[in-house]
Amino acid sequence: MSWQTSDTELLTISQVREITGISARTLRYYEELDLLPGVRRRAGGRRVYGPDEIERLRFIGRLKALGLSLAEIKELNAVYRIQGSTQAMLAHLEKLLDDQLAVVDGRIAELVALRDDIQKYQDHVVSRQRPSRREARRAGSGEVR
């Protein structure tokens, strides 16, 4: 976090909400979870955010979009704090993304199998709707069942 941010670069919670689309409640929740550590406050206690917080919020949003949970994102913060290294955090992120990729691949396989089952059943339903040749011959000869 850059502590050399001038007051003119600091944003209020409502400005951050407008920029990021993240609700004020979620911003406070991220702070509570320590996903957004070190949020500064003005003399009156109002939160203010700088470019580093905006960047972190975008990073969190990207990780969430990739399917990572808030707990996993919190793990990344902990790895960074404990190891003090971006490289350690990136290695952990790579592992999390590998795991997420395996989950997505599994879901895709399940969805492909489901699609095949639906198609087979649909074919079965369609075949049941068409009269059989025998029924068609009966209908053509006027035979009553």
* Residues in CB range of 10: below 8 A, 6 or more apart: 40, 48, 49, 50
* pTM attached to this predicted model: 0.72
Per-residue pLDDT tens digits for 48-89: 999 999 999 999 999 999 999 999 999 998 888 887 778 989
Q: Residue ranges of the chain with pLDDT lower than 50?
A: 1-3
Task: Output the pLDDT for position 78.
Answer: 87
pLDDT value, residue 135? 67
Give the model's pLDDT for residue 1: 44
E strand residue ranges, the chain: 11-12, 40-41, 47-49
